[in-house]
Structure 1
Amino acid sequence: MRKKLYVFLLAILCTVVSKSQTLSLSGRVVDENGAPIPFASVVIKGKSKTGTTSDPDGKFSIAVARGNVLVVSAVNYAPTEIAVGTGSTLEIRLSAAKADLSEVVVTAMGIKRNERALGYSVSKVDPGNMLQKSEPNILNTLAGKVPGVDIRAGQGQPGAASRIQIRGVSTFSGADPLIVVDGVPYSNPLIKTSNSLTAGGAYGSGLNNIDPNDIESISVLKGAAAASLYGSRAANGVLLITTKSGAPKRGSKSLNVTYRAGYSIEKVADIPEFQNLYGAGANFRTQSSNGSWGGKFGRGVIYDAAGNVVRPSSSGIDSIPATTWATMYNSYPELFPNGLIAYKAVPDNVSSLFKTGNLMEHSIGLNGGEGRSLFNVTLSQVNQKGYIMNSSYKKSNVSVGGQTAVGKLTIGANASYARSKQVGGFIGAAQNFLSQWGRTYTMARNWDITGWPSVNKVGAQIGFNDGQYTNPIWGAYHNVITTFDDRIVGNVRASYKFNNWIRVDFNAGVNNYALFRDQVIDKSSYGSGTTAPENPLGTITEVIDKQQEIQGKIIAVISPKIAKDWSLDINLGSDVNERNSRHQQVYGIDFVIPGLYNLNNTRRQTYSNDGDLRTKRRLVGFFGDASIGYKNYAFLNVTGRGDLTSTLPYKNAKYFYPGISGSLVWSEALNLKSKWFDYGKVRAGYARVGNDAEPHKGEAIFDLNAAGFLNQPFATRGGDYYDTTLTPEFTRELELGADLRFFNQRVGLEVTWYDKKSTDLIYGISLPRTAGYSNFYTNLGEIRNTGWEIALDVSPVVTSKFRWDIRGIYTQNKNTVLALKEGLTRSLLVTGGYNYIEAGKPYGYLRGSHSARSEDGQLLISATSGMPYLDPNDDMVGDPNADYKMGITNTVSYKGFTLNVLFDMTKGGDFYSETINSMLGRGVTKDTENRERNAVITGIYGDPTPVIGSDGLNHYVPLMVNGKTVPNQTRVTTNDLFFTAGTGASFATNGAFEYAVWDGTVYRLREISLGYSLPSKWVSALKLTNITLSVNGRNLWYLAPNVPKYTHFDPDINSVIGSGSQGVESGGAPSTKRFGVNLNVTF
C-alpha cells in the first residue's frame, strides 16, 4: 500500500512539473507597419499539427513549452521562427516576401497569368509606397524604381506635368505610353500654354486626375510582346492601373476605414552662388545694362548710356544717378531726394523672390465586404501653395467601386470624379525664350527688386532693367494662367462562368475630360528686350478642351484540360474604341476695366483658324491569345491582333500583327535546386505592334471663315497635306531575359535585353511657303532602340525584428534614327526648337552653331581677338538621351520603424540651358567673378580665310607657319570670354550654340522616409487597427558635376515637355525639395 502511495505521489509531482514547463502564450501577428495580419499560421516547429491561426485582428493564443520554436507564416509574407522564452505575450512582425515567381499577375487586356509563364518583362509597383512620399503625382513616385522607365518631373507650377518614357522613343509623334485604368484607356493630354517653348512647357497632365489613394495595383508592360494586345497605342508601352473595389470580410469586420493626412513644405532646392563684386553695366562701365559687367562696387567710373563720363570716382562708388532705373525714378522721384540710387550688392535679390510653398493632403477610404459582395469609397483632397508667388493647385477626388457575385455571374463597377484648379504665372511675352522667372536669375547684382514698388501710381508695372523685362512680382499677379479641369471616369464589367473551363468577360467604360483655361497677359507687359511695352493693351485667351473616350471589350476565356502535365489557356476577344475631342479658343484684346480679366471686358474678340477644332476617330480590334504549358515549367504563348482604324486611307486601314513568347523554368526542368540556388528562368519574346495616324491627317480639311472677304464667308483648304498612300507604323521587338533567385530568395536578379525597331513612322514635314501648304504628313522614317534592364534585390539581414532590403535597378537605352524619307536629310521636331531627327543620329539630337576645330579636335583661334572662329556650318552638338540610369533603394525595418532611402543617378544626356547661358553671359554667378585677369584659350591659330572642303562647304583650317600649326598665345579677359559683341565671339551670350549645351550627369537623393507604427497594444487600447506616423523628404540633395560650378543647376529641369522636345531648358523655374509628415490611421 505504501509503495502504491509513493507511485501515486510521484505521478502527481511529475504532472505538476510538466504543467509548470507549459505556458499559455498570447500574441499578435503584424506586418512591417504594425498592421495586423489575419489568418496567419502559428505552429510549433516539428509538430505541424499543433498550432493555431491568428484572428482578423492578428491575435492568437497557443499552449507551448519553454524552449519550443514557433513557425509563423502568412500569404505574401516571409515566414519567421521565434523561440519561446519566459514571457506570456509576444508580438511577431512579418516582412513582405520577395516576389514569388509563381504568383498571378495582370497582363494585357486584364488577362491574368502565372508570372513564371511570362516570356517578357512586367514590373509591378506597390502603390502603398506612394502614399508616404508627400507627392500627389503618381509618375514622380515611380522615378528611380522601375528599370526601363524614365520619369522627368515638371517644375515651377504646382500640379505641373511630368514626362514618362518606356524603353525610349518608338515614334516621331510622341513617346507617351498608353495609360489603362480599370480596363479603360485614360487620356493623358498635356496642359500647355500657347507656346511651350516660351511659356515654360506643360502645366499639367491628365494623370494628375488619378487619386493615388484609390490605386490597388500598378503594372508596367514595357515590351511589344507584353503590350501588343492593346493595339495601336501600345508601341510606347503600357502603364496598367487598377483601382480599389473593396476587401473581403475579415472575421467580424465587414468595414474598414482608413484616414490619411499629409503636410509638407517646399523650397527651392538650390540657388546659384552669385558674385557680389560688380553691378549693372558693360565692359566695367557702370550704367543701365542687361548684365553685371559694370564697375566694381566701391571703385570705378560712372558712364551714361552714351558712354560719357558722368562722375569719376576716386573714393569709391556708393551711389549712381537714379535715372539709371528711369522707370522707377519717373514713377517715384520722391524716393530719390538726392537724385541718386545706392550702388551696392543685394545678395538676396533673387532668393527673396521665392517663397516657402506647402502641400496639404487628406484622404478617407472605406472598404469592406460581406459574402461575395465588395465595395470601396475613397474621398481625397490636395491643396498646394507654390513656392512661386500666386501659384497654387487644388484637387478633389471622389471614387467608388464594388462588385458582387450571384451564382455564376460576377458584376462590378468603378466610377470616379476629379476636379482641379491650377493658378500660376508665365511670361509677359516671348522674352527671348525665358520664362517670367528665368530673367530673375540674370538680374544685375545691384537691383533691389523686392525693396522697391512694382506698380506705378497709375497701376502699370515698373519693369526691371529699366523696363526691358516684366517685373516678376507684378507679373505673378497680372500675367496669370487659371486652369480648371474635370474628369469623370466610369466602367462596368461582368463575368459569367459557364463551367470550370469557359468564361466570358465584358468591360465597358467611358472617360470624359474637360479643361477650361484663362490665359491673361495684362496691359504694360514687357518682353521684347526693349523699353516699350510689348503688350500695351492686354489680352486674354479663353480655351475649352473637351475629350471623350468610350471603350467596349469582350473576351472569351477558355481553359480546357487537355492532358496530364499539360495546360492550355485561350483568350479570344474584340474591342471598340472611339475618341472625340473639341478645342475652342478665342482671344480678347484691350481690357476696358483694369483688373477685370473677362472676355466681355475686352474691346475686341477674335478667333484664329483653330478657334473651334473637332476630331473623331474609331478603332475596332479583334485579338487572340493562346498559352500552353508543360509541367508548370515550360510555357509558350502566341498572340495576334487585327485592327481597323478610321485615321488611315481605307486601303491601308486594316492591319494585323502577331507575337510569340515563351519561358522555361530550367531549375525545375533540370531539378537543380540546392541550398544556395532557388530558381532559374529564361524567357524570350518577339512581337509586332501597329500604330495608326492622328485623326484627319489622311483627308482634306477645310477652315471656315464666317467674316470672310468683303463680308462674304468662305472656306479654305487647311495647311496640312497628306500622303494618300499613308500606311500604319509598325514596331518589331525582340526581348530576351533571365530571372534568378538565390539563398532562400534572399538574392534575386532579373536581366532583360531588347532590340526594338520602328518603321514607316508618320510625321509632318514642314514645307516652304511656295508649296501652298504648311506640313506634309507621310511615312517618314525608321528608328531603333536597344537596351538593357537589370533589377537586383538583396536582403543582407533578415531576423524576426530586423530586416534590411536593397533594390538596385539599371536602365540603358540607345536609340538611332535609321532612315528618313528619300530626299530628306533632316527635320526639325518643333518649330523654333533645337531637336532634330537625321539618319544615323540619335532621336532629338541637338543641332546648332559651334566653334571651328582642326581635324584632331583643337579649337581654331583668331590671332586678333584670341577667341575661337565660328564654324560656318551647323552640326550636332549634343545627344539628349542618357547613357544610362541607376537607382538604389535601401529599406531597413526594426520593430515598428521603417527607413527607406532612394538614391538615383543619370549618366550623360546633354541638355540646352538658356538659364546657364544667360547667367554666364550676364556675369551674375561666381563663375565669372574673377574677371579682371587675362587668360589664354587652349587651341591653335586658325587661318582667317575659310576654304572649301571636300563636302563643298566652307571650313576654317589651321594657320600653318613653316608647315606647322601655331599654339594660341593671344590673351583675353574673363569679360571677353562670356560677353562680347558679335556672333560666336564668346562662350555664353552671343556665343556658339554648343556652349549652351551641357552634360546632364546628376546624382540625387531622390527620397528618404522614416515611419513608425505604434505598438499593437497601444493601438488596440484606442479601439483602432493601426496607426503609422512618418516623416519624409524629396530631392534633398543633388550633384551635377558637369555644369558650371556656381550655377548649382539641376539637369532634371526640363521646361519643355512633350511635342518631341527633350533636353531643352528655356528659362524654367528651379527644382525644389520637400519635407513632409504623414499620418495613417486604420479603424
Structure 2
Amino acid sequence: MKQKNSTRRTFLFLLFLFPCLVFAQTSLKGKILDKNGDTVPFANVIEKGTTNGTTTDIDGKFTIDVPNLPATLVFSSLGYETVEQVVNTAAPMTINFVESAQALDEVVVTGLATSVKRSNSANAVASISAEDISGRTPPQTLDGALAGKFAGALVTKSSGAPGGGISVKLRGVTSINGNSQPLYIVDGVYVNNSSVSAAGLNAVSGAASGGNPSSQDNPSNRIADINPDDIESIEVLKGASAAAIYGSRAAAGVILITTKKGKRGETKVSLSQEVGFNTMLNPLGQRTYTRDIAEAAFGPGNGALFAEAQANGTLTNFEKEIYGEEGFINNTSVNVSGGSENTSFYAGFSNSEEDGIVKNTGYNRKSVRLNVEHKFLDKRAKISVSSNYINSNADRGFFNNDNTGTTIGVSLTSTPPWAQLFPDENGNYPDNPYGGSNPLQTRDLITNRETVNRFITGATLDFNIYDAENSSLKLQLRAGVDYYQLVTKAIFPKELQFQKISNGGLNGLSALGSAENKDANYSAFLVHDFNTDNDLAFTTQVGITKQTFSVNIVRNIATNLIGTETNLDQSGNVSVSQNRLEQEDAGFFAQEEINYQNKFIATLGVRGDKSSNNGDANKLFYYPKASLAVNFHEFDFWNNFETMNQFKIRGAYGEAGNFAPNGALFTAYGSSLIDGLPGIVVPVTLGDPTIVPERQKELEFGVDAGFFNNRLNLEATYYNKNVDDLVLLANNEPSSGFGSRWANSGNLENRGIELSLNADVVRSDNFNWSTTILYFKNESEITRLDVEPFNLGGFGQGLGTFRIEEGESATQIVGNNADGDLVVLGNAEPDFQMTFTNNFNYKNFDLSFLWHWKKGGDNINLSSLLTDFGQTSFDYDGTNLDPSGAMSNGDYRVNAFLSGNATPFVEDASYLRLREIGLFYTVPSKLIKSAFKDYVSNFKIGFSGNNLINIFDYNSYDPEVSNFGSNGLSSGVEVTPFPSSKRYLFHLAVDF
C-alpha cells in the first residue's frame, strides 16, 4: 500500500513539474532579410554550442525555443556572411544578411553535371554575380559587362556602334587562323557567338580588296542578344583543366551563364526603368585653319571660301555634326517569380532601346524569358526548362575602312569645315567636291540594318535513382537548341554621290543577306557519390554528349536599281553567294573526384571527342584533366594561426581543342561562267584531309589565402598554356597549281600571372566598404613554326602589320623603319592590366565604381594618316612627332608613308578608364509601408555611367578598337571607326 501511494505521489509530482519545465523554455521569433529587404528562406538558425536549431520558412520567418536567456543564436545561409547575435529578450527580431565578400561556400563547376565549393576548387574559376553584371551599371550588351570584372581577359570593342561587337580573349591568343573567342553556354545550351558578315557592304566600300581579304563589315556578335538582366551568375573557365570537360571547342575558354530562377514563396514582381543618353567619348576637334592654310592645303580659291564661310558663320564642325548626337536610352524590364514547394518559375520581359551618337543608328532588343522548375516523384525527380525569345534590330551606319572613299568616316577625313554639304529646301544634297561622298547624305539616306529572331531553349531532367546512407546515384539528361535567323539589309539609293553613274557608281545598290543558324546539344550523365567510414568521399561522373551545328548564309546583291525600287528583282544586275556548314560532334566524359576531409581534393577526368570536321570523322581525340587542392587550414595544426584562417595550394593540368577553320579540311572549288556555260575553277588554297584540331595543354598553379575571418582574401595563379598543331597557311609548290595549303604547322605558348585581392575594409551597422583589386598579364611566343615567317592582319609592312615568327610574340607588330628595314614596332598584348573596384554602403546609399588600367598594348592607327592625306587632322600643324622639329605632324606622317616607314602608325594604346560608376538610394522600409502599405517591398532610385572618365595619349577616339571585327588575331587595327560613347543612365526599381 505504501509502495502504491509513493508511486502515486511521484507521478503527481512529475505531472505538476512537467508544465513548469515546458513553460520555463523561451520561444524566440523573427525573420531574416537580405540587403534589398527580401526574405531569406531556408536559412539555418542554431543555438550556439548546441544541436538545437531550425530553419526559416518560405517567408524567411523562424521560431526557436531556448531554455533560458540570454542565448546566442547563429544564423547562416549559403552565399551570406554568418551572423552571431546575443538575444536578451523574447521580442521579435529582424536579422539582416549581407553577401559574403569571398563567397568561399559558393559552388563552381567541376564536371558537366557536378560542382564543388570554391574553397575546395583546384582551378582558378572566376565568378561574376548578377549584381556585378547589371545591378550597379547596366551594360549595353552582355559581353561588355565582362570588361574589368575578372582577371585574365582582354576585352576589346570592334565598333562603337549600338548593338555591340566585342572581342573577348582569355589568357592570350589561342589560335592564329581559328576561333579565338570563348565557348558560351547558357543554362546548359551551347550558344552561338558568331559575327556574320552578310550585309554585302564590301560591294560598295571595296574594303576587302587592295590586298586584305578579311571581312571589315564589323557586324555585331550574337552573345549581345542575351539580356544581362536575366542573368543570375557567370562562371569563367579560363584554364584548360577547368575547360577540358568541353573538349574540342574549349581551347579559348568557356563562359557558363546561369539565368535567374524562381524561388519558393509568394509571387514577386520586379519592375525597373532606365532612361538616359550617350555622348561621344573623346571628340578630337578640328584643324585650326587660316586663309593661307586653306589655300595651301586645298588649292586655289579655298582660302577665299574659308574666309567667306568664316565671315558668314557657316563654318561647320563636321565631327560634331556627324558624331554629336545625344542618343536617347530607354530600358524597361519586368520579371515575375515565385513558386510552391514543388514548382518554381521565373518570367521576364525586357525592352532595350538605344540611339547612337550618329543619326539613323541605334539598337533595339526585346527579350522574353520563361524558366520553370518542377519536382515530382516525391522530389526524387526535377525537370528544369529555360526558354528565351529575342528580337533585335541594329542600325549600324557605314564606317571603317574602304577603298572607294565612300564610308562616312573616310569621307570626313578630307572634308574641310567650309564645305557646303547640307541639303537644299527640296531635300537635294550637293556633291562633296572634297571627297568621294557627301557624309551627311550618306548618313541620312543609306540603310544598314541587322534583324535577329532567336530562340534559345534548354531542358534538364535530374533523377535520383537511389539515395542510401553512404551513397547515391543520380541521372541527368540535357537537351538544348539555339536557333536564330539573321537578316541584313543594306540599301544605297542611286541619288547618293558615289552611286551616280556619272561618278562611276553602280546606279543604286540593294543587298539582302540571310544567315540561318541552328545549334543543338544532347547529353546524358550518371553521377555517383560514395562516402566511406574513414572520411573519404568519391564523386564519379560518366556521360555521353552530342552536338550538331548547321549554318546557311546567303548574300544577294542587286545593282543598277530601277527607279526608286529596292527589291532585288527590280534591278539590272543580281549576284548571289552562299556558304553552308553542317557539323556533328559526339563524345564521352568520365571524371573521378576524391575528397579527404576537405583537406585533399583530387580530380581526374578525360573527354573523348570525334567530329565530322576532323580528317577522320570516326577518330576519337582525348582531352585529359587532373587537379589537386590542399586545404592546410583544415588540418588541426592550423588552429595556431589566428590571423590566416584559410590557406590552399592548388595545381591543375588539362587539355582542350580547337577545330580547324571552315574549309581547311577540303579543297573548295569556285564557280565560273564563260560564254554562258557554268563550270568550276581550281582555288589557290589546297585543303588537307588529314588535318587535326589544334590542341591546348595548360598547367596552372595557385595559392588562395584568407585573413581575418576571410575579410581579406588573396588569390594568385601562374599558368603556362601551350597550343600545339596550329592550323596555318603554308606556301605550296607552284607546280601543283596551288599557291598555298592548310597544314598543322606550328606551336604557340602563353605564360601569365593573375592576382586577385578582395577585402571587407569596413563593416559596421551603418557603413560598409569592400574593395577588389585585380592584376594580370600574359606573354605569348611562337615556339615552333614549320613554315616561313608570314604577315597577317594588317595592311602591309609600310603601315604596320602582325607577323608570325618562331621565337617571337604571337601579337608582335612589325613594319619598315626609316632605313627600310623590317623591325618590331610594338605588341598588341598589354604589359599588364589592373582593375580597382569599390563598393560603399552608408545606411540606404550605395556607391560603386570600377577603374580599369591597361598598361601597354599597341594599335595600328591609320585614321590619323587618312586625315593627314585629307589635310584635316586636328594635330596636323603640331610639331611633337618629328625628332628634328622641322616638319609638322601631318607632314611627318605623310612623308613616313611615302617613304615606306610604318613607325608613326604604331601607337601605345594604354588607358586609365572609369569604366563603371553607380550611385543608388533605397527608400527605407518604413517610408515604403506608409506610402504603399504592403504592396511595395523595395523602392530604389539611382544614377550610373559608363566610361565617364578616360585618360590616354592615343591619337584617336578610343584605344579599344578593331577594324577587323571581334574575332581573329588582328584586333587593334584602326581605320575610321564608329567612335565609342559615354553612357549616362537614371534608374528606378520597384519590387512588389
Per the normalisation by structure 1, the TM-score is: 0.80
Aligned residue type for 2:397: G
- Unpaired segments of 5 or more residues in structure 1? 1-22, 290-302, 306-316, 323-339, 853-870, 940-970
Q: Does 1:1050 align with 2:958?
A: yes
Note the C-alpha offset of 1:1055. Answer: 3.6
Aligned partner of 1:243 in structure 2 is 259
Q: Residue 559 of structure 1 aligns to a residue in which SS?
A: strand
Residues 815-834 of structure 1 correspond to what in structure 2 (within 5 A)? Answer: 815-822=780-787, 824-829=788-793, 834=801
Contact 1:157/1:203, CA 8 A, preserved across alignment:
no
Aligned partner of 1:1029 in structure 2 is 941
Q: Does 1:515 align with 2:499?
A: no
Aligned partner of 1:335 in structure 2 is none
Q: Does 1:733 align with 2:698?
A: yes
Note the C-alpha offset of 1:592. Answer: 1.4
From the superposition, tell whether residues 62 and 474 of structure 1 become closer, same or farther in structure 2 (CA, over 3 Å). Answer: farther
Contact 2:156/2:971, CA 8 A, preserved across alignment:
no
Contact 1:434/1:1068, CA 8 A, preserved across alignment:
no
How far apart are the structure 2 equivalents of 1:139 and 1:671?
45
Aligned partner of 2:983 in structure 1 is 1074
Aligned partner of 1:942 in structure 2 is none
Q: Among residues 609, 616, 629, which one is paired with 1:663 in the alignment?
A: 629
Aligned partner of 1:412 in structure 2 is 384
Q: Residue 285 of structure 1 aligns to a residue in which SS?
A: helix
How far apart are the structure 1 equivalents of 2:950 and 2:771?
21
Q: Among residues 711, 721, 724, which one is paired with 1:759 in the alignment?
A: 724
- Unpaired segments of 5 or more residues in structure 2? 1-25, 209-214
Contact 2:920/2:940, CA 8 A, preserved across alignment:
yes
Contact 1:275/1:445, CA 8 A, preserved across alignment:
no
Higher alpha-carbon deviation: 695-704 or 1018-1027? 695-704
Note the C-alpha offset of 1:916. Answer: 2.9
Aligned residue type for 1:505: Q
Aligned partner of 1:808 in structure 2 is 773
Aligned residue type for 2:856: G
Aligned partner of 2:836 in structure 1 is 888
Contact 1:157/1:424, CA 8 A, preserved across alignment:
yes
Note the C-alpha offset of 1:839. Answer: 1.6
Aligned partner of 1:779 in structure 2 is 744
Aligned residue type for 1:30: L
From the superposition, tell whether residues 320 and 237 of structure 1 become closer, same or farther in structure 2 (CA, over 3 Å). Answer: closer
Contact 2:769/2:839, CA 8 A, preserved across alignment:
yes
Aligned residue type for 2:633: S
Q: Residue 629 of structure 1 aligns to a residue in which SS?
A: strand
Note the C-alpha offset of 1:156. Answer: 3.2
Aligned partner of 1:4 in structure 2 is none
Residues 6-17 of structure 1 correspond to what in structure 2 (within 5 A)? Answer: none
How far apart are the structure 2 equivalents of 1:850 and 1:97?
55
Note the C-alpha offset of 1:603. Answer: 1.8
CA deviations over 1:239-271 (Å, ceiling 9, x no partner): 001223422x23xx2x22222221121000121
Q: Does 1:605 align with 2:574?
A: yes
Note the C-alpha offset of 1:83. Answer: 8.2
Contact 1:820/1:826, CA 8 A, preserved across alignment:
no
CA deviations over 1:1008-1065 (Å, ceiling 9, x no partner): 0011222122334252222222210110011113x35xx5x42113343224321111
From the superposition, tell whether residues 319 and 548 of structure 1 become closer, same or farther in structure 2 (CA, over 3 Å). Answer: closer
Note the C-alpha offset of 1:119. Answer: 1.7
How far apart are the structure 1 equivalents of 2:390 and 2:110?
27
Contact 1:404/1:412, CA 8 A, preserved across alignment:
yes
Aligned residue type for 1:278: T
Aligned partner of 2:6 in structure 1 is none
Aligned residue type for 2:581: T
CA deviations over 1:874-899 (Å, ceiling 9, x no partner): 33322111111110100001222111
How far apart are the structure 2 equivalents of 1:185 and 1:505?
17
CA deviations over 1:330-367 (Å, ceiling 9, x no partner): xxxxxxxxxx8858894744213220002211121122
Aligned residue type for 1:164: V
CA deviations over 1:29-67 (Å, ceiling 9, x no partner): 433334344466678989996999687267999999999
Contact 1:565/1:631, CA 8 A, preserved across alignment:
yes
Aligned partner of 1:271 in structure 2 is 283
Note the C-alpha offset of 1:923. Answer: 5.3
Q: Residue 632 of structure 1 aligns to a residue in which SS?
A: coil
Residues 129-148 of structure 1 correspond to what in structure 2 (within 5 A)? Answer: 129-132=132-135, 133-148=137-152
Q: Does 1:631 align with 2:597?
A: yes
Residues 60-459 of structure 1 correspond to what in structure 2 (within 5 A)? Answer: 73-80=76-83, 93-132=96-135, 133-172=137-176, 173-192=178-197, 194-195=201-202, 201-247=217-263, 249-250=264-265, 253=266, 255-278=267-290, 285-286=295-296, 288=298, 303-304=300-301, 319=305, 346=315, 348-353=317-322, 354-407=324-377, 408-427=380-399, 430-431=402-403, 435-440=407-412, 443-447=415-419, 452-454=421-423
Aligned residue type for 1:540: S
Aligned partner of 1:1003 in structure 2 is 912
Aligned residue type for 1:1024: V
Aligned partner of 2:816 in structure 1 is 849
How far apart are the structure 2 equivalents of 1:573 and 1:136?
38
From the superposition, tell whether residues 825 and 928 of structure 1 become closer, same or farther in structure 2 (CA, over 3 Å). Answer: closer
How far apart are the structure 1 equivalents of 2:977 and 2:89?
64
CA deviations over 1:417-465 (Å, ceiling 9, x no partner): 1111111311598247884135436642444x5xx524797x764343x
Q: Residue 109 of structure 1 aligns to a residue in which SS?
A: coil
Q: Residue 725 of structure 2 aligns to a residue in which SS?
A: strand
How far apart are the structure 2 equivalents of 1:995 and 1:229?
46
Residues 454-469 of structure 1 correspond to what in structure 2 (within 5 A)? Answer: 454=423, 461-464=429-432, 466-469=433-436
From the superposition, tell whether residues 1033 and 87 of structure 1 become closer, same or farther in structure 2 (CA, over 3 Å). Answer: farther
From the superposition, tell whether residues 482 and 1029 of structure 1 become closer, same or farther in structure 2 (CA, over 3 Å). Answer: same
Q: Residue 98 of structure 1 aligns to a residue in which SS?
A: coil
How far apart are the structure 1 equivalents of 2:91 and 2:125?
45
How far apart are the structure 2 equivalents of 1:1032 and 1:245?
26
Contact 2:238/2:253, CA 8 A, preserved across alignment:
yes
From the superposition, tell whether residues 71 and 1014 of structure 1 become closer, same or farther in structure 2 (CA, over 3 Å). Answer: farther
For the aligned residue pairs, the C-alpha RMSD in angstroms reads 3.6
Note the C-alpha offset of 1:809. Answer: 0.8
State, as a whole percentage, how many aligned pairs show the same letter. Answer: 23
From the superposition, tell whether residues 554 and 652 of structure 1 become closer, same or farther in structure 2 (CA, over 3 Å). Answer: closer
CA deviations over 1:156-213 (Å, ceiling 9, x no partner): 3210211111111111113101111121211101143545967865231111121222
Aligned partner of 2:891 in structure 1 is 979
Aligned partner of 2:474 in structure 1 is 503
Note the C-alpha offset of 1:28. Answer: 6.3
Q: Residue 530 of structure 2 aligns to a residue in which SS?
A: coil
CA deviations over 1:534-571 (Å, ceiling 9, x no partner): 52412222111111111111111112234421111111
How far apart are the structure 2 equivalents of 1:365 and 1:86?
40
How far apart are the structure 1 equivalents of 2:447 and 2:774?
41
Contact 1:44/1:68, CA 8 A, preserved across alignment:
yes
From the superposition, tell whether residues 775 and 343 of structure 1 become closer, same or farther in structure 2 (CA, over 3 Å). Answer: farther
Residues 555-634 of structure 1 correspond to what in structure 2 (within 5 A)? Answer: 555-594=525-564, 596-607=565-576, 611-634=577-600
Aligned partner of 1:487 in structure 2 is 454
Note the C-alpha offset of 1:234. Answer: 0.3
Provide the aligned length of Structure 1 versus Structure 2. 940
From the superposition, tell whether residues 672 and 415 of structure 1 become closer, same or farther in structure 2 (CA, over 3 Å). Answer: same
How far apart are the structure 2 equivalents of 1:557 and 1:25?
41
Contact 1:979/1:989, CA 8 A, preserved across alignment:
no
CA deviations over 1:907-937 (Å, ceiling 9, x no partner): 1000011223344565545634457xxx995
Q: Residue 895 of structure 2 aligns to a residue in which SS?
A: coil
Per the normalisation by structure 2, the TM-score is: 0.87
Aligned partner of 2:15 in structure 1 is none
Higher alpha-carbon deviation: 538-547 or 998-1007? 538-547
Contact 1:36/1:1025, CA 8 A, preserved across alignment:
no
Q: Residue 384 of structure 1 aligns to a residue in which SS?
A: strand
Aligned residue type for 2:461: A
Residues 544-559 of structure 1 correspond to what in structure 2 (within 5 A)? Answer: 544-559=514-529
Q: Residue 140 of structure 1 aligns to a residue in which SS?
A: helix
Aligned residue type for 1:1054: S
